[in-house]
Amino acid sequence: MTQEHFFNDKDLSAINSEVFDSLIEQLDAEKIYFTKHEIDSFRRKFSKFDDPLNYEKKYTKSPLCSINLESSFKFINLYFNRLIEATNYQLKEVTKKNFDFTSDEKIVIDDKKKQWKKNKYELKKSWRKLSKNDVLTSILADENLDEATETVEKRYKNRLRRISQRNEEDIFSISMNNLTSFFDPHSSYFSPKSAEDFEMNMSLKLEGIGALLTTEDDYPTIVSVVPGGPAEKTKNIHPDDKIVKISQIDKLDKVPVDVVGWRIDEVVQLIRGKAGTRVKLELIPAKTEDFSERKFVTITREEVKLEEQAAQSRIIEVQRNLQTIKIGIIDLPAFYIDFNAWRNRDPNFRSSSGDVERILNTFNQQKVDAVLIDLRGNSGGSLYEANKLVGLFISPGATLQVKESDGSIRSMGDARARHLWKKPLAVMVDRYSASASEIFAGAIQDYQRGIIIGQQTFGKGTVQKLDDLSSGQIKITESKFYRITGSGMQNKGIHPDIVLPSTWDIEEVGESSYESALPWDEIKPIRYRKFSMDPSLISTLRDEHLLRVKKNPNLQYILSIRKRYEEQKNKDVVSLNIENRKLEKEERQIWALDIENKRRSSLDLEIFTSFQAMEDYNELKKEEDEIIKINLDDDYILNEGTQILTDFTIFNQSIYLTKAS
């Protein structure tokens, strides 16, 4: 790490203290397993190793090696022992079935407001409250007391079984990943087993649902969905969704299996299966106000194929001021390329740039007036393809700059690009647009070739390499990429020309949300020729957009959800009183029904008579929408994107023919 990482001169003077802070954040951010005395004691042990003089006297002349592995292992082992102790205690409390759900007890849920407990007695009080909340949450998810107790008991027993299966490799992996994350969040250690799983995920050859999972507070949690995969096709599975139960639809035993507390590899094995079979997931929606809320998604397993990730297109007509504007929409879920076919010199190898080129040729034949490329949720892919795709819109030219760890800088682009599309262009991005998506959007913005609309992108401006070790593999950040203006993409990402509404605070995810993220910086710009664009154009388009926001019921609906989110996100306590929780749940349902009916009423649509009627309608509609690739009726943000592009086209109908001199 100290020799090959991009920041190989990183200050290591406080590495042990920072590694300890990272361990705490990973293992006990909620402050429920360790006492204040234990934390203070371990902190002193770790900080001692941050004194180079003290270390040199005892061990070596090189302070670079002063990593306190022994204390890391002791702390991790103490955590698992304490987790066993807490779980056994909670199991006994749940089995008694004597929780009083009429009391006014509360749980603090804001980690920043929690304090380390003074002693074991205080810890046990918090363990009891947590188990009480687990039972209450299960009751609110439409279970009676006996069912809820049985569910939570199984969950705790699964947790104990999972802990008992931990071995030296697991402990070592936790310690090493805390060490690598000190350098940056994308450098990591893969144990032999983890390396094997990583390779399987990258190959996309396993038959399953096409989703990457992790464990968060005992819950198997969706990290991302594979573009074109079964999970993505449902349009109802999102990052941060938590899996509670899994059912095998095509087996005789369809009883849902509660997987909270399971090892993640066991959850993956339960989800995987033969192509064509179905699995049903019970999930807690991401960013929900209450973990008792549920959604149920049935997925048909299949092998994720390259063609399923392929670009999709649709042509729509927008009527404006007695004009008919043809908008071509391209949904690009990933920057893909069939490397095997490419290496074998197959002239018909599949790639994102090749597919988009064919679509653009069709758009030209159909006399499309403008193109919108949708990169929302596109987490990247082939850098080669990003460069090729930019070339279709700007002709030959540099796309980005790459800075290596030795300080050398080189520019990249497609020297043989053919300027295929010369009419107006818009690119849609969101917080999950990352890496290659940011390179493409940044180049389009820098050349003033088109407008960028949506939300600030992820901000991943680093490149990693994967090296084999004697045992396992290591992924190391080796370089950073920059825009042709010299501005870094790291942390800041791409800021849209026109920001569209979102239902949640985008700052909660993205590169800037990682404590160890490498900083933003800039380098010298390179020479390039921009396309001509009226400086006042963006301001005009923004004004037109804001006028529509005020009048459009669908956009007002999004703003209402965001307002509700802002009001609830700072909630720092949860009641353990069942009547209070039922009232809160009822209030949420009334609110959801009201804002949906307000939207429907403004659009002269039939309103729902109850929350259940709305839920039934939405469930039926999801099944119908699965076959629609680009759905403007329900995608209010995409719809507004086409309106902005229509304005853009009307205001600039003949400016995108050549670069400005």
Q: Which of 530, 547, 565 is the last residue of a domain?
A: 530
Q: What is the predicted pLDDT for the residue at 61?
A: 43
Q: Domain check: are 313 and 389 in the same one?
A: yes
Q: How many domains does the chain have?
A: 3
Q: What is the predicted pLDDT for the residue at 312?
A: 92
pLDDT at residue 275 greater than cutoff 90: no
Q: Domain check: are 238 and 266 in the same one?
A: yes
Residue 450: inside a domain, yes or no?
A: yes
Q: Which helix (H) or strand (E) holds 72?
A: helix 69-96
Range 154-175 average pLDDT: 90
Q: Which of 125, 148, 182 is the last residue of a domain?
A: 182
SS3 322: coil
pLDDT at residue 204 greater than cutoff 80: no
Q: Decide the pairing of beta strands 211-216 and 207-208.
A: unpaired
Q: Domain check: are 323 and 299 in the same one?
A: no
How far apart are alpha carbons 308 and 96 in whole angstroms?
A: 51
CATH number at residue 218: 2.30.42.10
Q: Domain check: are 219 and 154 in the same one?
A: no
Q: Domain check: are 213 and 140 in the same one?
A: no
Q: What is the predicted pLDDT for the residue at 249?
A: 87
Tell me the C-alpha to C-alpha distance, in Å, between residue 361 and each of 333, 354, 395, 397, 416.
Answer: 20, 11, 16, 21, 18
How far apart are alpha carbons 109 and 126 in whole angstroms?
A: 12
The predicted-structure confidence for 341-389, as pLDDT tens digits, reads as follows 777 887 778 889 999 999 999 999 999 999 999 999 998 888 889 999 9
How far apart are alpha carbons 141 and 293 in whole angstroms?
A: 7
> Phi/psi of residue 159, each to 5°?
-65, -45
Q: Domain check: are 376 and 239 in the same one?
A: no
Range 637-650 average pLDDT: 96
Q: What is the predicted pLDDT for the residue at 502?
A: 92
Q: What is the predicted pLDDT for the residue at 625?
A: 64
Q: Domain check: are 426 and 383 in the same one?
A: yes
The predicted-structure confidence for 329-352, as pLDDT tens digits, reads as follows 999 998 988 777 777 887 778 889
Smallest CA-to-CA distance from 454 within 469, 476, 437, 472 is with 437
pLDDT at residue 597 greater than cutoff 70: yes
Q: What is the predicted pLDDT for the residue at 57?
A: 45
Residue 610: inside a domain, yes or no?
A: no
Smallest CA-to-CA distance from 17 within 82, 71, 56, 80 is with 71
Q: Decide the pairing of beta strands 257-258 and 242-248.
A: antiparallel
Q: What is the predicted pLDDT for the residue at 109?
A: 86
Q: What is the predicted pLDDT for the residue at 353?
A: 92
Q: Which helix (H) or strand (E) holds 445?
A: helix 436-446
Q: In angstroms, what is the C-alpha Rg of the chain?
A: 27
Residue 613: inside a domain, yes or no?
A: no
Contact status, residue 472 vs residue 192, Cβ threshold 8 Å: yes
How far apart are alpha carbons 347 and 349 in whole angstroms?
A: 6
How far apart are alpha carbons 169 and 297 in whole angstroms?
A: 35
Return the half-sphere exposure (C-beta side, CA atoms, 13 A cut-off) of residue 95: 10
Residue with the bigger pLDDT between 10 and 484: it is 484
Q: Domain check: are 27 and 76 in the same one?
A: yes
pLDDT at residue 75 greater than cutoff 50: yes
Residue 661: inside a domain, yes or no?
A: no
Q: What is the predicted pLDDT for the residue at 206?
A: 44
Q: What is the predicted pLDDT for the residue at 219?
A: 87
Q: Domain check: are 92 and 30 in the same one?
A: yes
How far apart are alpha carbons 131 and 135 in whole angstroms?
A: 6
In single-letter form, the type of residue at position 470 comes to: S
The predicted-structure confidence for 500-536, as pLDDT tens digits, reads as follows 999 888 888 899 988 888 999 999 999 999 998 888 8
Residue 354: inside a domain, yes or no?
A: yes
pLDDT at residue 196 greater than cutoff 90: no
Contact status, residue 349 vs residue 388, Cβ threshold 8 Å: no
Q: Which of 284, 303, 322 is the last residue of a domain?
A: 303
How far apart are alpha carbons 119 and 12 in whole angstroms?
A: 33
In single-letter form, the type of residue at position 554 comes to: N
Range 275-294 average pLDDT: 86
The catalytic residues are 435, 446, 460
Q: What is the predicted pLDDT for the residue at 653?
A: 58
Q: Domain check: are 366 and 502 in the same one?
A: yes
- In sign, the C-alpha dihedral spanning 27, 29, 33, 38 is positive
Q: Domain check: are 231 and 311 in the same one?
A: no
Residue with the bigger pLDDT between 141 and 596: it is 596
Contact status, residue 228 vs residue 629, Cβ threshold 8 Å: no
User: Which residue reads 């893909």 in tokens?
Assistant: 336
How far apart are alpha carbons 534 and 380 in whole angstroms?
A: 31
Structural domain boundaries enclosing 213 = 205-303
pLDDT at residue 291 greater than cutoff 50: yes
How sure is the predictor about 51, in pLDDT bands with cuts at 50, 70 and 90? low
- In sign, the C-alpha dihedral spanning 604, 605, 608, 614 is negative
How sure is the predictor about 82, in pLDDT bands with cuts at 50, 70 and 90? very high
Q: Domain check: are 32 and 125 in the same one?
A: yes
Residue 508: inside a domain, yes or no?
A: yes
Residue 188: inside a domain, yes or no?
A: no
The predicted-structure confidence for 459-506, as pLDDT tens digits, reads as follows 999 988 889 999 889 999 999 999 999 999 999 999 999 999 998 888
The predicted-structure confidence for 292-302, as pLDDT tens digits, reads as follows 788 889 998 88
Contact status, residue 294 vs residue 283, Cβ threshold 8 Å: yes
The predicted-structure confidence for 618-628, as pLDDT tens digits, reads as follows 888 876 666 56
How sure is the predictor about 660, in pLDDT bands with cuts at 50, 70 and 90? very low
Tell me the C-alpha to C-alpha distance, in Å, between residue 269 and each of 236, 264, 279.
Answer: 22, 9, 12
Smallest CA-to-CA distance from 494 within 410, 555, 427 is with 427
The predicted-structure confidence for 424-443, as pLDDT tens digits, reads as follows 999 999 999 999 999 999 99
**Residue-level length of the chain:** 661
Question: What mean pLDDT value characterizes the chain?
Answer: 88
Contact status, residue 553 vs residue 598, Cβ threshold 8 Å: yes
Residue 200: inside a domain, yes or no?
A: no
CATH number at residue 330: 3.90.226.10
